[in-house]
Structure 1
């Protein structure tokens, strides 16, 4: 039997599942950073990680429901999240600077993929999914911006 290339609709659902997995892994990373942050900017970072994590967590449901709207199947098994995600799950003890850098790198991955995924959705004639990606990428860009500001000055407050 010869395998056929996935349809554009199937490709869109695949992108939604990856984005859903990325959102949950990113949320879990944010919880780690929230719990383990320390130093002179503790309060600011503790609250920022909580706020940004909550915004990312809300995306999990939006992405899963969009997949269902397209007659797709969202990720439902917890064991499927890590192998589907393309962002890095945080491991080990990190400095605050490493936490921020890791979060920025994950946002970079998500932003790049969402730009590509919006193009796939547009090619498939799925303006709803393209719009979802356009809206969500703006949230990730804002998160990246806020995080980059902590590293911008190099004033030694983030160790």
Structure 2
């Protein structure tokens, strides 16, 4: 028996909307870190935050378009992003260590949610969305890994 989606699954579209909102907030946080980083690792962190932020930004369209593929509605109004997100907007002045820690926590939150969201999609018979989450989890895991490397060595520069 082949499982097919015959109508939009509101639970799946809700996960896509939340992750779309999370992606935008995470991207904006990355831009903050990119602009405001400083110190002896400025160049490395400046470039890393830009690169990872760009990859997170690219997922916005994928998540929104997946909602549309399911006959759902993505988030479109800017005012609706913050309330829909579970990622918190970065606030205040941060040192590089705090920026890295905040970015790592964001990835951990998104990874955990996407594991659950993939299960929701699978239960709804939506292997396309489950596959999207599986692929994006790998991106977030790689980002987390790179960020954590700055904090785990005890080099006295950041950690």
TM-score (norm. length: structure 2) = 0.94
Q: Secondary structure at the match of 1:82?
A: helix
Residue 150 of structure 1: how far off its partner (Å)? 0.1
In structure 2, the gaps of 5 or more residues are 1-6
Instruction: Report 1:132-143 matches (<5 A).
Output: 132-143=132-143
CA contact (8 A) 2:8 2:72 kept: no
Q: Distance in 2 between matches of 1:79 and 1:156?
A: 41
Correspondence for 2:87: 87
TM-score (norm. length: structure 1) = 0.94
Correspondence for 2:19: 19
Residue 153 of structure 1: how far off its partner (Å)? 1.1
Q: Secondary structure at the match of 1:87?
A: coil
Correspondence for 1:4: none
In structure 1, the gaps of 5 or more residues are 1-6
The runs of 4+ residues in structure 1 deviating greater than 3 Å are none
Deviations 1:80-121 (A, max 9, x none): 000100011101000100000000000000000000000000
Number of aligned pairs? Answer: 153
Residue 127 of structure 1: how far off its partner (Å)? 0.3
Correspondence for 1:147: 147
